[in-house]
């Protein structure tokens, strides 16, 4: 990902975590992602995989698409946004 995207994603994750009054440690437990990795993501110092972002989203009680700011209305014509939420 481009550095600006990584930074913006980190800010979104931090804001979502803080909105839920979660510490980095609490989110680490909920998501199964280490505190160190979460801190690096929030600071824009890590380029997380889709798998890691999906686990963070689950820990925050949201979807990958919502976490990265993609909604069904944002999809280009001919592209369908879907989720594997159970």
Q: Output DSSP code: residue 75.
A: S
- Cβ neighbours, 10 Å, residue 25: 10
Q: Does the predicted model carry a pTM greater than 0.85?
A: no
Is 11 within the bounds of a domain? Answer: yes
Cα torsion 10, 35, 47, 50 to 10°: value is -90
Total domain count, the chain: 1
Q: Per residue of the chain (86 residues), give pLDDT as tens.
A: 788 889 999 999 999 999 999 999 999 999 999 999 999 999 999 999 999 999 999 999 998 888 887 765 555 666 666 666 54
Q: Are 33 and 57 in contact (CB under 8 A)?
A: no
Give the CATH number for residue 69: 1.10.260.40
Identify whether 86 is part of a domain: no
Closest C-alpha to 28, from 50, 13, 47 = 13
- In contact, 68 and 58? CB cutoff 8 Å: no
């Amino acid at each position: 990902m481009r550095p600006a995207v990584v930074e913006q994603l980190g800010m979104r994750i931090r804001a979502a975590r803080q909105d839920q009054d979660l510490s980095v440690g609490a989110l680490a437990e909920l998501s199964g992602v280490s505190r160190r990795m979460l801190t690096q993501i929030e600071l824009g110092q890590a380029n997380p995989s889709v798998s890691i972002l999906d686990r963070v989203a689950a820990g925050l009680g949201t979807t990958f698409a919502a976490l990265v700011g993609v909604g069904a209305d944002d999809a280009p014509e001919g592209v369908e946004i879907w989720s594997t939420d159970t």
